[in-house]
């Protein structure tokens, strides 16, 4: 996709001409927001006071295209497209309110937490910031620099600029270069998706200044846990970040009672293979959904080898 041909919907105007219309619009938005919260409560999508407060506080309309009717903005199940590609296909959107509410409830966020959001739009990050509070950290990452710029600007205009950091990053860029000759026709990369309903843990490595430098996640795979999205920023590789993340994976896997942690990596990633081997992972037969994938390598670490406490830096 060429950035020059992609189009954003017009952003929300944050300053309106003075007059009764502005006040009436704000009042109507507040009423619709209250109605939305009440409906999400009644539907069982909101179940905690923290999520209710976040949804009640953040003005959804500030993160949607300016021509979005308030009734659409505050509909329970309305998602809104914010960017389309050169063919008119939607490539970025704000999720429906009921989806965001359920994700926030399932995340079980606590005050002071550090949270990594994958996919930036601004609205969800603002609600996360409300939940984790002033002592929390929110980092929102997206592959699209235009999406990042838009989200950062809208968050700043809405008063969250100092509480949410928005970054452009592509963890798969190196993989696309290594495996370019194996890409399926018409696609940029071979991909096995990770869906939120199977993810049980996400780890984020941050510096003392709050900069995100690495992440990993665990998802359910039958009785096992599978390690996915293991990534360390290039400038921080070889400095113990990967070891710290793998130690954290061990601790979480023991807490969750998994018999083992499994993972898949490619045959053109010798550094990754060496790292996992040093950490106690052993080769196993290729498992679904990687069976038949060229160059697939799979590894496992049994529970007995999992560290009870983090020991790496």
pTM of the model: 0.63
Q: How far apart are CA 258 and CA 85, in angstroms?
A: 42
Residue numbers of the chain with a pLDDT score lower than 50: 1-20, 186-190, 309-313
Does residue 95 have an active-site annotation? yes
Give pLDDT, residue 18: 45
DSSP 258-302: -SEEEEEEETT-HHHHHHHHHTT-EEE---TTSTT-TTEEEEEEE
Give pLDDT, residue 11: 37
Give pLDDT, residue 178: 63
Give pLDDT, residue 22: 64
Spacing of C-alpha 140 from chain mean position: 7
CA angle 208, 211, 215 (to 5 degrees): 105
Q: Which of 95, 120, 140, 307 is catalytic?
A: 95
Tens digits of per-residue pLDDT, 168-217? Answer: 876 665 666 665 666 655 444 445 555 667 889 988 888 887 777 888 99
Q: How far apart are CA 47 and CA 214, in angstroms?
A: 32
Give pLDDT, residue 190: 44
Using the structure block, give the residue that is written with the tokens 């699209």: 144
Q: Are 164 and 155 in contact (CB under 8 A)?
A: yes
CA atoms within 13 A on the CB side of 237: 9
Give pLDDT, residue 313: 36
Kind and range of the H or E run holding 255: helix 241-256
- CA-derived radius of gyration, the chain: 21
């Amino acid at each position: 996709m060429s950035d020059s041909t992609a189009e954003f919907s017009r952003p929300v105007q944050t300053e309106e001409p003075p007059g009764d219309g502005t006040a009436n619009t704000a009042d109507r938005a507040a009423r619709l927001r209250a109605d939305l919260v009440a409906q999400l409560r009644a539907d069982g999508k909101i179940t905690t006071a923290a999520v209710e407060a976040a949804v009640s506080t953040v003005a959804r309309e500030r993160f949607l295209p300016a021509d979005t009717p308030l009734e659409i903005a505050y509909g329970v199940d309305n998602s809104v497209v914010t960017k389309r590609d050169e063919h008119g296909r939607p490539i970025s959107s704000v999720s429906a309110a009921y989806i965001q509410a359920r994700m926030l409830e399932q995340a079980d966020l606590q005050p002071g937490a550090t949270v990594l959001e994958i996919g930036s739009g601004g609205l969800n990050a603002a609600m996360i910031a409300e939940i984790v509070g002033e002592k929390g950290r929110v980092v929102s990452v997206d592959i699209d620099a235009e999406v990042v710029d838009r989200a950062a600007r809208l968050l700043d205009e809405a008063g969250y600029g100092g509480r949410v950091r928005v970054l452009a990053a592509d963890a798969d860029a190196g993989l696309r270069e290594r495996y370019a000759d194996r890409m399926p026709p018409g696609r940029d990369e071979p991909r096995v998706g990770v869906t939120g309903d199977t993810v049980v843990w996400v780890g984020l490595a941050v510096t003392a200044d709050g900069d995100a430098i690495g992440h990993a996640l665990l998802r359910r795979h039958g009785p096992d846990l599978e390690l996915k999205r293991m990534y360390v920023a290039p400038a921080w590789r070889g400095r113990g970040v990967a070891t710290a993340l793998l130690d954290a994976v061990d601790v979480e896997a023991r807490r969750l009672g998994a018999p083992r942690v499994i993972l898949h990596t490619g045959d053109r990633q010798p550094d990754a293979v060496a790292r996992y081997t040093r950490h106690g992972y052993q080769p196993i037969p290729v498992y679904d959904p990687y069976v038949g994938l060229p160059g697939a390598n799979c590894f496992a670490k049994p529970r007995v080898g999992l560290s009870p406490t983090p020991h790496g830096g």
